[in-house]
Amino acid sequence: MPNLVPPVKTVEEAEAYRERILQHVPEGVQFDPRMVLYFTDHTPPSEVLKIKQSAHVNAIKLYPAGATTNSDNGVSDIRKVYAVLEQLEKHQVPLLLHGEVTHSHVDIFDREKRFLDEVLSPILKQFPKLKVVLEHITTSDAAQFVLEQDRNIAATITPQHLLFNRNDMLVGGIKPHFYCLPILKRQSHQKTLLEVATSGNPKFFLGTDSAPHAQNAKENACGCAGCYSAPTAIELYAQAFDQVGKIERLEGFASFFGADFYGLPRNTSSITLVKEDQVIPESFDYLENQKIIPLHAGKTIHWRKV
């Protein structure tokens, strides 16, 4: 994702970021990072063709200004970027959305639905062939919205939104390592997300939204948003699919549907999961004298990657 400080706003910057990532890949490990640009009020329409022609950059991400971590440079008013949206539709470059409004008077639990009604629906009327991924959806409203659209609209779902709801974050005291944006919602929304994720519908696929925030950045009076799931994400998804008896549908959700939507080749290599208990580590070392607390730290899950 491109929401660094400073943000990754051009194809040239994305290619440079990719090279920095590749410098840390262990020898012998195959890793081909796919890059995304940060959509701002000032993104030139000409940058869209550069994305289309790039070998490594595949999409552009719209963060409404102020919606989440490092989103200050995000789009302040969708009407300012219609010229870019026109080019995205023309070249079929995917638009990735953090789907929330940011008005201070709107309840945080209603912000996703309000985005669908007030922002995305008008966009799709203006640009009906726009290729859109609603990233990390959290509500039954978003799931139903995606189901009702044509094949050019898809969504990703995180492990935390399949396994947990706002009770897990709030009951018995606030648990900052469950805090992410969009925020965890009611159990009824969690149930719907599980249903669509495990349905085999190719409109829904894996998107961890894993965020490696240090413990001291999460556990303070203004804790940052994001859950760190990367080390055990696939096992957490397996747990979610298995608990509703749909483990056989994990492969499509995790490995096929996203690649197909983006027009990328499916991976030919594979991993193996076994149903075997493992305890998620309490923490991971991070930078100097800092730690990261992973999602579901210290808890036992019933799947392991071998």
Taking only the tens place, the pLDDT of each residue in 155-191 is: 999 999 999 999 999 999 999 999 999 999 999 999 9
pTM for this predicted structure: 0.96
Distance, in Å, from the CA atom of 245 to the CA atom of 185, rounded to the nearest integer, reads 23
Cross-strand bridge partners of residue 38: 61
Q: Is the pLDDT of residue 219 over 80?
A: yes
Q: How confident is the model at residue 65 (pLDDT cuts 50, 70, 90)?
A: confident
| Active-site amino acid positions | 209
- Tell me what pLDDT residue 213 has: 94
Tokens at 226, concatenated: 């994001």
Q: Is 165 part of any known ligand binding site? A: no
Q: Is 136 part of any known ligand binding site? A: yes
203 in Cβ contact with 263 (< 8 Å): no
Q: Is 213 part of any known ligand binding site? A: yes
102 in Cβ contact with 67 (< 8 Å): yes
Distance, in Å, from the CA atom of 41 to the CA atom of 2, rounded to the nearest integer, reads 15
All domains of the chain, ordered by start, with CATH? 11-215+245-269 (3.20.20.140)
Residue among 73, 33, 23, 78 nearest 57 (CA):
33
Q: What is the mean pLDDT of the chain?
A: 96
The dihedral through the CA atoms of 26, 299, 98, 134 has a sign that is: positive
Pairing of strands 204-206, 284-286: unpaired
Residue among 247, 256, 248, 253 nearest 157 (CA):
253
